[in-house]
Amino acid sequence: MKTYYSYYKAPIGQLLLAGDGEALSLLGFPRGKMRREHESEWIRDLGPFAQVNAELDRYFAGELTQFTVPLAPSGTAFQERVWSALQEIPYGVTWSYGDLARHIGKPSASRAVGAANGLNPIPVIIPCHRVIGSNGKLTGFGGGLDVKEYLLGLESQRMTPGLNFG
């Protein structure tokens, strides 16, 4: 199967978009532990990402609260269950890892939920940034805590001044 890719210039940096031409399977950050670059055998093509680009434009403008782009994340059944539940967290709302674990019917699986959350291959669109610590503090994020803070600020319509993503 062919993989297509493109880059999207976002306020949080260049985001890598990748997919099979029908659905998005990866959104990579330019830095942080979830930093991603395209593979040499992937095909650069803007066409398959027109809808993703348009929705990201509207999201970063504060106009879009729910993505509709087709997604194809790939993981274990448990990971995919967690990623699906992440999409049920309302825009502008945060849940704790415990909340998410209870939501999927696994109240004692907060750590496993956290691990699955951290491996989300399509952050921003599958909103793993909406998960915070049970104490209300921001916890790790693949694009960096400053990016998580920016995304949460965008969604709460309280932009954090002074953040610079280069």
pLDDT digits (tens, 9 = 90+) for 83-109: 999 999 999 999 999 999 999 999 999
The answer to whether 130 and 123 are in contact (CB under 8 A) is no
160 inside domain: no
85, HSE (Cβ side, Cα atoms, 13 Å): 24
Q: Are residues 41 and 98 in the same domain?
A: no
Cβ atoms within 10 Å of 68's Cβ, excluding its own: 9
- Locate 136 and state its tokens: 């209300």
The answer to whether 21 and 7 are in contact (CB under 8 A) is no
Chain position carrying tokens 């990971």? 79
Q: Are residues 81 and 151 in the same domain?
A: yes
Among 128, 131, 147, 154, the active-site one is 128
Q: Are residues 13 and 49 in the same domain?
A: yes
Q: Are residues 20 and 83 in the same domain?
A: no
Residuewise pLDDT in 10s, the chain (166 residues): 899 999 999 999 999 999 999 999 999 999 888 888 999 999 999 999 999 999 999 999 999 999 999 999 999 999 999 999 999 999 999 999 999 999 999 999 999 999 999 999 999 999 999 999 888 888 888 888 999 999 999 998 744 444 444 4
Q: Are residues 97 and 145 in the same domain?
A: yes
Which residues span the domain enclosing 27?
A: 4-60
163 inside domain: no
Query: How does DSSP assign 65-94, residue by residue?
Result: SS--S-B-----HHHHHHHHHHTTSPTT--
Q: Are residues 129 and 88 in the same domain?
A: yes
Q: Decide if 128 is catalytic.
A: yes
